[in-house]
Structure 1
Amino acid sequence: MRGLGELEAAVMDVLWSAPGTRTVREVLTELSSSRKLAYTTVMTVLDNLHRKGRVTREMDQRAYRYAPATSREEAVARALRELIDSSGDPRSVLMHFVRSASPDESDTIREALDGVDHPSDER
């Protein structure tokens, strides 16, 4: 995901897939099946994600419990918005995207646009 390193993205995947909050140890356990990591590495990644506003944390006895600050869908939408804004030609990017959309995706886009109030719509 845009703005996240590989390990940060893996940690976010664990948090998005988990119901509720997770400790560093629980995140480490989830990640251990695919890679060998130190506890302090995961702790540092979670601390960095907290500093970036990507996760929230609350103290539970002597350990923090972490949760995503936004849903996966909101994070992807934000990343898409950043890409569109940085493209230099947002209209062209959106036109290419819409042309590549499947029929179901096109229906979803139409539904979303039908529910959007634009300032120019106000009379």
Structure 2
Amino acid sequence: MTEHRGDGRTAPRRRRQGELEAQVLAALRTAPGPVAAGWVRERVGGDLAYTTVVTILTRLHVKGAVARERSGRSFRWTAVADEAGLAALRMRRVLDSEADREAVLTSFVSTLSPGDERLLRDLLEVAEPSEAED
């Protein structure tokens, strides 16, 4: 992944925020079982340093998106969330970091398209326990 500079040289393209995490998670989801960081590095792209892959895997583990198990002196990794789950974890982390949850949610809902707002309402309706269960 490269981008061209004005002077004719090329530089590695900067990834969007969360793009590398999504790529690592996608690679893990194709794994036949728990895999080493080296296996993930091969699937994501050999231009990444092994330590970068381990750092991303560790961040995903802290977020609850991947599980790890000891294998000798290192770990084997397994995806426990998909990209939608990872996005939901990010949204939850932002919400949890704010003191005024109502203001954050109000601001979020006010920016939704009419279709997304309808979808959210439908999802909330399904998720709410019926009054008969109370």
Query: Unmatched 5+ residue regions in structure 1?
Result: 1-5
CA contact (8 A) 2:60 2:66 kept: yes
* TM-score of the two chains, using structure 2 as the length reference: 0.58
Distance (whole Å) between structure 2 residues aligned to residue 56 and residue 90 of structure 1: 29
Taking structure 1 as reference, are residues 12 and 23 closer, same or farther at Cα in structure 2, changes over 3 Å only? farther
| Corresponding residue of 2:54 | 44
CA RMSD of aligned residues (A): 3.7
Among 73, 91, 94, which residue is 2:105 paired with? 94
Q: Which residue of 2 aligns with 1:24?
A: 37
Whole-angstrom CA distance in 1 between matches of 2:104 and 2:17: 29
Q: Does 1:83 align with 2:83?
A: no
- Larger Rg belongs to: 2
Moved more, 11-20 or 99-108: 11-20
> Which moved further from structure 2: 100-109 or 80-89?
80-89
RCO higher in 1 or 2 (8 Å CA, sep ≥ 6)?
Answer: 1
| Paired positions, count | 114
Once the two structures are aligned, what percentage of the paired residues are identical?
23
> Whose helix proportion is higher, 1 or 2?
1
> Does the CA contact (< 8 Å) of 1:24 and 1:46 recur in 2?
no
CA contact (8 A) 1:50 1:57 kept: no
Q: Deviation at 1:67? A: 1.9
TM-score where L is the length of structure 1:
0.62
What secondary structure is seen at the aligned counterpart in 2 of 1:101?
coil
